[in-house]
Amino acid sequence: MSRVRYGSRAVNRLSRRRVLAIAATAGVGVSVAGVTGLSLAGETTATDDGQPLVISLRDASKGTFDIFSGGSRTTLTDKKLAARLLKAVKR
């Protein structure tokens, strides 16, 4: 099944610096602008240049983020980043 087949990518593929850059650009749970649309013949992957990326703060208290990119979901934990984002949206 698709649900099973597409596994999460390793967290270390995204550096902290990269995530911070994304956060600074996109704000909370917002995608980075990029080329949209999916390939007719296949899935896009996280390594596709210019593909959108969406970060979702799943658990603010634990600083757990889901990062959606191409056909993958990656989990990341960063309490400080969560706190900064919450401050940005005045929560």
Partner 1 sequence: MSSHREAPEISKDPVADSSDLYAFVSPDDPDTVTIIANYVPLQLPASGPNFFEFGDDVLYEIHIDSNGDARPDLTYQFRFRTELRNNNTFLYNTGQIKSLDDPNWNRRQFYSVTKVDAHGKSTVLAAKLPCPPCNVGKLSIPDYSSLAEDAVKKLKTGEKVFAGQRADAFFVDLGAIFDLGTLRPFQDKHLVGQKLFNYAGKAVNATDKLNVHSIAIQVPLSTVRRDGKKKVRGRDPGAVIGVWTSASRRQVQVRHGDKKNADVEVGPQVQVSRLGNPLFNEVIVPMAQKDKWNSLPPTDDKLFAAFVEKPELASLLPVLYPGLFPNLDKLNKAKTPRADLVAILLTGIPDGLIDNFQNATGDTKADMLRLNTAVPPAKSPKAFGLLAGDLAGFPNGRRIEDDVVSISIRAIAGVTFALVDETFKPDAAAGLVEQGLSIKNVSSGLLKKFPFLGTPFDGFDNP
Give the residues lining the site for partner 1 (CB under 8 A). Answer: 1-6, 8, 30-31, 33, 36-44, 51-54, 56, 68-73
**Residue 4 Cβ vs partner 1, minimum distance, rounded to whole Å:** 6
Residue 52 or 86 having the CB closest to partner 1: 52
Give the residue carrying structure tokens 């896009």: 44
Cβ distance to partner 1 smaller for residue 6 or 77: 6
CA distances from 65 to 37, 60, 72, 74, 75 (A): 24, 8, 13, 8, 6
CB atoms under 10 Å from CB of 6, counted, come to 13
In the complex with partner 1, the residue whose CB is nearer, 45 or 77, is 45
Closest separation in Å from C-beta 75 to partner 1 = 12
Cα separation, 65 vs 23, in Å, equals 11
